[in-house]
Structure 1
C-alpha cells in the first residue's frame, strides 16, 4: 500500500513497510502429567506426549499446580489425576511400544483442540529455524517467510484458522510476547526471545486460547512456548550448522548440574547465526544469550528465573509485485552494495530491460535493513500452599531498542543526491506480572488470576543525507544509526496500561464428562503524545494523538469433553474474545491502528470506534488406538467490528483513517489421521478447509468497494499436509509435504497468488558416545526439496481493495541444504 506526500514540490512516494522498524523430553505439566495418545507428524515413532492440563481444560500451563513428572503408565484404563483437573484430565492410553515424542495433534481429554509440539520435533528442523515454522505442519496453521529459517522477521507471518498473528496470543513461560508483528509495540518475536535449541515445547490452541493466557490480541487461538529447564547433570551441548547461503551457526549450552542437595541448577547458552541472503547481497546476523536458574522448594514448589539477550541485524529481500515477477523473475534483488546503480536508478537511468516494467523505480532500491537489541527477563514462583491450593506468580520486564533503514529514491537529499535514507527507531520498555490461585475441591478445579502490564512504545521517523555520486557510499546500514539526519517528520510516545482478570471452574461431572466454564475481564487503556512533528513533511497534516480504551467486563468461555466410548470422545468450545487497539506510528498504513491517521481523521472516528470482537464455536471428535489416531474438528467464527484502513481524498495527499467496517464469517473443518502400520513407521495426513468471507461492502469516499462475500486475503481455502517418517535404531528419516491452495491478494479478490506443493526432507543419525562425547549426532536437511518457485509472504505491506499494480509479496527460498554436527558432554 503506497501513500504519496508532497514535500517542497517533490512527490515523495513513501513505500509503507509497517514503519520498517528495526527490525520432549516429557512436558512438565502444571498439576499433573497427562499421558496422551497422539497423532504424529514427521519424525519419530510416537510415545505418549504429555500435554499440560491447566484448569482451563485446554492444557494451558499458565496458572497450575506443579508436581514432579511421573513415569508413564501404559494402560488402557484411566489413571486417577492427583490434580483432579479439568478437561485435560490425566489418564494413560495404550501406545505403540517403540514410541518416542513428536507432535501431538490433539490432547486426549482436552475440552478444545490442543496441539503440543515437543523439543524432539524441533530438532528435526535445522537448528535456528523459527519454532513458528515448525508449527506450519499443524492443521489450520499457515506460516510463511522469505528465508529458509523463518528468521527474517519482516517476512515472518503466521495465520491460524484465518486469523493473522496480530490476532493471536503468544507467551513464553507465561510471559506475554505481544502479537509477533514485525513492528511490535508490546512484545518481541519468539526467535529473539529464546534460542530454538532451548525450546522445550509449544502448546497450541487452534480455536480459542484459554482465558488465562496473558494476551490482549487473541481473537483466535493462542501459542504458548516453553523453555527447557537446566539439567540435573553437569555438562553441555555443542552444535555446529553449515549450509546454503554461507550459513554458519554455532550453539553452545553449559549446564551447572545440581549445585546442592536442594537441586539448585542453571544453564547459560550462546548462539551465533551468520548467513547470506539467498538472492542479492546482504546478510542475516544474530547473537543471542539465554540463561535460566531453577530452585526447587518445599512441597514440590519451585522458583525459576529466565534471562534473554539478543542482537539482530538483517538485510531486506526485495518486495515483489506481479509485474516485477513477470518482467524480472523471482531473483530480483536490491542493488546493495552497488550504490552507483541505485544512484543512477533514482535519476531515471536503469539497467537494460528495466524499461519493460510498469514502474522501474519500484524495482530499484539500494537496501533496507533492520537492527534490534532486546533484553527479556522474568522470575516465576510456583508455590503449593497446601495440597489443594497453588499460587503461581510471574514478574517480567522487557526492553527493546534499534532502528531500521530504507534507502528511498522518493526523497532526495539536501546535497543534491537523488535519494536518501529513511530511518525509524522504535523502542519498547514494558513490565508486568501475572498471578493466579488454583484451588481443588471435590470435583472442581477453580482458578482465578490477574495480569497487569505497563508499556511505553516510542517511535520516530527520520531522513538522512547520502553521498553524491563519486563521493563515497552510505556505508553498511547495520553498523549504526546513520548520521547526517536532515529531516524528522515525527516522533511519538505511546503509554499503555493493560489489566485482565479471569475466573474459571473445571468441573469433572463424571469420570467421562468434564466441563470448563469461566470468563475474562479486560481493560487496555492506551494513548500517545507527539513531541516532534513537521506538518510540511507529513503532507500538511497534524499527526494523530489521543487516547482510546478497549474494555469488556465479561468475555465468557465454555468448553466440555465427553468420553462416550473407549477410544472415542467428543468436545466443544464456545468463547467470546476482544482485541485491544493496535499501535503504530503515523502514516505507516499497514497495521489497522487508529493512530496511523491525521489528527483530523482520528478525531472524526474516535467516538465511534469499537475494538474488534468475535465469537468462536468449535465441535470435535477424537478416536485413539495404538495403531490409528484420528481427529475431526468443525468450527465457526463470527468476527465483528473489523478495523480497516480507509483512504479518501487525492492520491497526492490522501486522508487515511481507521474505521469499523463490519464483520467476517468463517466456517471451517479439519481432518487428521495418523497410522502406525509397523513398528518405526509413521504415516500422517491432514486436510484443512476454511471459508472466510466479508459480511459487508466497504464504503469509501469514491464509493462502495464490493467486498461482501469475498474471501479474506492471505489465507488459503484448502491445505493438505502429509508426512512419512521411519525410525530404525539410531537412524531417523522423514519426508514432509504441504499443499496450499491459492491466496487472494486484494479485498475484492481480483488478484491472487497461485497455490503450490512443497516438500522437505530430513535425516538424523546418532553415533552414540565416544570418549567425553555423548549423543554424537549428524543430521542433514533439505528445504524445498523439489526446488519449487513460489510466493511465500503476502500482506507484508498490507492489502489493497483492488489490483492497483502495487500489491506486494515476497518470494520463498529455492532448494536449500543444511548439515549439523552436535554432541553432548
Structure 2
C-alpha cells in the first residue's frame, strides 16, 4: 500500500458480541441421532484409508521435520506434527511455517500469536494475498480486520494440528479462497485416537507465561468406530515490554463416525476468546532516540494524559514526533465460533464424493486511545474503536473419478458472508488521583460514530481438472476454476464532522472470472528423481474495509464521489504464476530446487490526498509487479537419529510502473517491494534417540526496504532457537511423561520483526514496524493418561 506519511493508526477490529451461530452449536446435535441409528449400529463399519490425491503431499516419514510434495506438479512443502511439537507449546503454526523456503513469518511476541503483529509472506505476497483453509474450510483473508474468516490460532489449538501443506507458487484449483494470488496454506486437524486416553500439558516461562492444555480422546465407542476428542487450552502471559498482557481460552472438539464400508462423517467445533494488549509501533527514529524498549504508557494513565497535553517527561522530545510516540494503549478482543460437518464416501468403484457444510461467527473490537481526538468531558484523549462482526455460512462438494489413466475431479464452493464494521469514539476519563483504565472496557457510551457499514458477499467457485497418467512416470494435469464474487455495502451510520467533511462511499462491486486455468506436469525420469512444472492464472476478490482506514487496498475506503468513479472502471487483481523444479528423494537425502516467475497485474493501490489526519483515499489500478526467484531445500540424514535441514531462497520482486499521486510523479518503476527480504536462509539440526530429542534452528533474513523508493531499510538479522525434550515413559496411570525446554532468540539479538502494519512511505522513515522479542525461556511438562 502506498501512502504519504501520516500519524500512526493502531489496530482496529471488531464489535458487539453475537450469539453463537446455529451450525456451530447444533451441527453435532443434529448429527448425533443419525450416527446412533440401529441400522448403523448393526453394520460392521471400518473407516477406509483415504486415497492419495494427485497434487497433494504424501504423508511425511516420522523422522523428518519437513516433507516435499513427491508426485505433485507444483512446489509443495509441508510442516509435520513433529515440527509443530518441537516448538514451545502454544506457538502459532504460521511461525513454524517460517522454516520452509520462500516463507517469512514475523511477530512481536515469541509465540507468533499476537495478531496485530502477525505477518506472513510467501514469495513476496502478503497474507492478504494468500489462501488459507482448515480441513478444506476457508479461513479467509488473514489481515488484522479479517472480514471473511479468522486466524489459524483462533480456528484450532496448535496441539490439534496434524500438518500444514504449503503451495508456495499457487494453490490447487479446489482451494476455497478468494485471495490466493500467491500460494496457499492448507491445515489439517488431527482425528480422534482409536484408544481411550488423554493428554495434559503445562507450560511456564518468561513474562509470567502460563499455559495449560488438556485433551480427552474417547477411543472407539462401539463396533461402528464412533470416536471423538475434546480439548481445552488456556493462556495467560504478560507482554515482554510495557504493561498489559494477553489471555485466551479455546475449546476444540471433533467427532468421527464411519458410515458403511467406505463412508466417514466428521464434525468439528471450535470456540475461541482472546484479549490482547498492543505493543507500540515504532520507526527508525524512535529506536535511535528512545530505544528498543519504547512502548505504550499503560497502565500509567497520568503520563499519557500529560503527553496528550504536550507535557513530555520521558525524553519523547528527542524524537521527531513526540505525540505519536506517547500512546496510552491499544487493545483487541475477539470471540469466534467455527463448526463444520463433512461426509466422504465411495459412491461407486473409482468414484469418490466429499461434501462439507460450515458456519463461522466472529465478534469483538479493537481500540486505540488517541490524543488526536479529545473527549467531550475535557480529557485530551479519547478511545477510538473498530467494531467488527462476521456471520458466514457455506458448503463445499466435490467428486473424483478414476478411470484408466485419467483422474477427473470437480467441485463447487459457495459462501455467504455478512460483515458488519463501524468506528466509534468513547470518552477517556479525566485525570484524578490513582486513575487507570482498560480501554477495551469503555465502549458502552460512545460520543461519536464516524461511520458504519454492512457488507454482504456471495461467492461461488467451481472447478474441474484432469490428471492424465501418460506413462507410469509422466503425469499431466489441466483444469480451471471459475470464481464469481458479488459484494454489496450499505452505510448504516456516518458523521462527516469526523470524516474530514466527506460522505463515505458505498455500493456494489463484482470480481468475476469464468476461466482461471492451471496446467501442470510431473515426470519421474529416474528412480528417486522427478521434474515438475506448473502454470496458473489467479484472481483476488476486493478486500472489504471501512472509510479511510488505510489498512488495506479496499475500494470502500474511498469517499462517496471517489467510489462512484471506482465502480466504473476498477478491475480485480490478477496474476500468472510460472514455476518449474526438481525433486530428489532418497533414504539419506531429500532435496528440492525451484525457479519461479510471477506477472502480477491490475495492482490496486490506495492514493491519499488531503490532510494526513483524515485523508481522502482513492483506490486505483497502478500497474504491476514482476517477480523472479529461486529456492533450494535439502534434508540430509547423515547418521542414524540425525536430520539436518537447510534451505535458501532468493526473490527479486520489482514494480513495473511509476505512479502519479497528489505529490506528483513517484519514480517507482524498478524499485524492490518493501517488507520482504531478497535473501533468506533457514537451517535446523534435529537429533532423536529413544527418549531424547534436541534441536536447534536458525533463520537469516537480508535487509528489507521500509520505503517504496528503497531509500530506507531495516538491517539483516539471524535468529537462533533451541529446544530439548526428554520422555520418561509410562509411570503408573501416567503415559509418555515428558519434559521439554525451549529457548527463543537464543543469542538475544535485537531485530525488527513486523513491517508495514501501518503501511509504507514512498520515501524516508515511518512508524510502521514492531521489534522482535528478546531471549525467552519456556518449560513444559506433558503427561498422557
1:191 to 142, 153, 171: 153
2:293 to 331, 336, 350: 331
Distance apart, 1:20 and its partner CA:
4.6
Counterpart of 1:726 in structure 2 is: 687
Distance apart, 1:68 and its partner CA:
3.6
Provide the C-alpha distance between the structure 2 equivalents of 1:792 and 1:818, rounded to a whole number of angstroms: 20
Check the 8 A contact 1:87/1:515 in 2, yes or no: no
1:577 to 509, 526, 538: 538
SS in 1 for 2:344: strand
Counterpart of 1:756 in structure 2 is: 717
Provide the C-alpha distance between the structure 2 equivalents of 1:259 and 1:637, rounded to a whole number of angstroms: 51
Distance apart, 1:89 and its partner CA:
9.6
Distance apart, 1:163 and its partner CA:
0.6
1:610 to 568, 571, 580: 571
Counterpart of 2:501 in structure 1 is: 540
Instruction: String of CA shifts for 1:478-519, please: whole Å, max 9, x gaps.
Output: 4x4523311111111100000000000111111000111100
Distance apart, 1:612 and its partner CA:
0.3
Aligned counterparts, 1:103-122, within 5 A: 103-122=65-84
Check the 8 A contact 1:3/1:654 in 2, yes or no: no
Provide the C-alpha distance between the structure 2 equivalents of 1:473 and 1:806, rounded to a whole number of angstroms: 32
Counterpart of 1:812 in structure 2 is: 772
Instruction: String of CA shifts for 1:18-57, please: whole Å, max 9, x gaps.
Output: 635479xxxxxxxxxxxxxxxxxxxxxxxxxxxxxxxxxx
Counterpart of 1:285 in structure 2 is: 247
Alignment gaps of 5+ in structure 1:
6-12, 24-65, 71-81
Counterpart of 2:35 in structure 1 is: none
**TM-score, length-scaled by structure 1:** 0.89
Counterpart of 1:62 in structure 2 is: none
Provide the C-alpha distance between the structure 2 equivalents of 1:664 and 1:146, rounded to a whole number of angstroms: 28
Check the 8 A contact 1:17/1:590 in 2, yes or no: no
Q: Residues 650 and 585 of structure 1: is their aligned pair in 2 closer, same or farther, counting only changes over 3 Å?
A: closer
Counterpart of 1:55 in structure 2 is: none
Provide the C-alpha distance between the structure 2 equivalents of 1:87 and 1:345, rounded to a whole number of angstroms: 57
SS in 2 for 1:510: coil
SS in 1 for 2:261: helix
Provide the C-alpha distance between the structure 2 equivalents of 1:18 and 1:466, rounded to a whole number of angstroms: 18
Aligned counterparts, 1:296-695, within 5 A: 296-470=258-432, 473=435, 475-478=437-440, 480=441, 482-651=443-612, 654-695=615-656
Provide the C-alpha distance between the structure 2 equivalents of 1:185 and 1:481, rounded to a whole number of angstroms: 24
Check the 8 A contact 2:486/2:510 in 1, yes or no: yes
SS in 2 for 1:269: strand
SS in 2 for 1:134: helix
Provide the C-alpha distance between the structure 2 equivalents of 1:438 and 1:126, rounded to a whole number of angstroms: 39
Q: Residues 411 and 543 of structure 1: is their aligned pair in 2 closer, same or farther, counting only changes over 3 Å?
A: same
Provide the C-alpha distance between the structure 1 equivalents of 2:3 and 2:401, rounded to a whole number of angstroms: 55
Counterpart of 2:12 in structure 1 is: 19
Check the 8 A contact 2:239/2:245 in 1, yes or no: yes
Check the 8 A contact 1:2/1:806 in 2, yes or no: no
Instruction: String of CA shifts for 1:257-313, please: whole Å, max 9, x gaps.
Output: 111100101111100000000000101100000011110111321000000001000
**TM-score, length-scaled by structure 2:** 0.94
Counterpart of 1:230 in structure 2 is: 192
Check the 8 A contact 2:3/2:608 in 1, yes or no: no
Q: Residues 149 and 228 of structure 1: is their aligned pair in 2 closer, same or farther, counting only changes over 3 Å?
A: same
Check the 8 A contact 2:67/2:80 in 1, yes or no: no
Provide the C-alpha distance between the structure 1 equivalents of 2:437 and 2:11, rounded to a whole number of angstroms: 24
Provide the C-alpha distance between the structure 1 equivalents of 2:180 and 2:222, rounded to a whole number of angstroms: 42
Q: Residues 519 and 775 of structure 1: is their aligned pair in 2 closer, same or farther, counting only changes over 3 Å?
A: same
Aligned counterparts, 1:248-259, within 5 A: 248-259=210-221
SS in 1 for 2:86: coil
Q: Which moved more, 1:466-475 or 1:594-603?
A: 466-475
Instruction: String of CA shifts for 1:395-422, please: whole Å, max 9, x gaps.
Output: 0000011011111111101111111111
Distance apart, 1:702 and its partner CA:
2.2
RMSD between aligned residues: 1.9
Check the 8 A contact 2:372/2:381 in 1, yes or no: yes
Provide the C-alpha distance between the structure 2 equivalents of 1:412 and 1:392, rounded to a whole number of angstroms: 56
Check the 8 A contact 1:101/1:118 in 2, yes or no: no
Check the 8 A contact 1:628/1:674 in 2, yes or no: yes
Check the 8 A contact 1:500/1:523 in 2, yes or no: yes
Q: Residues 680 and 757 of structure 1: is their aligned pair in 2 closer, same or farther, counting only changes over 3 Å?
A: same
Alignment gaps of 5+ in structure 2:
17-45
Instruction: String of CA shifts for 1:566-624, please: whole Å, max 9, x gaps.
Output: 12110000000000000011110120000011111111222111000000000001112
Q: Residues 327 and 14 of structure 1: is their aligned pair in 2 closer, same or farther, counting only changes over 3 Å?
A: closer
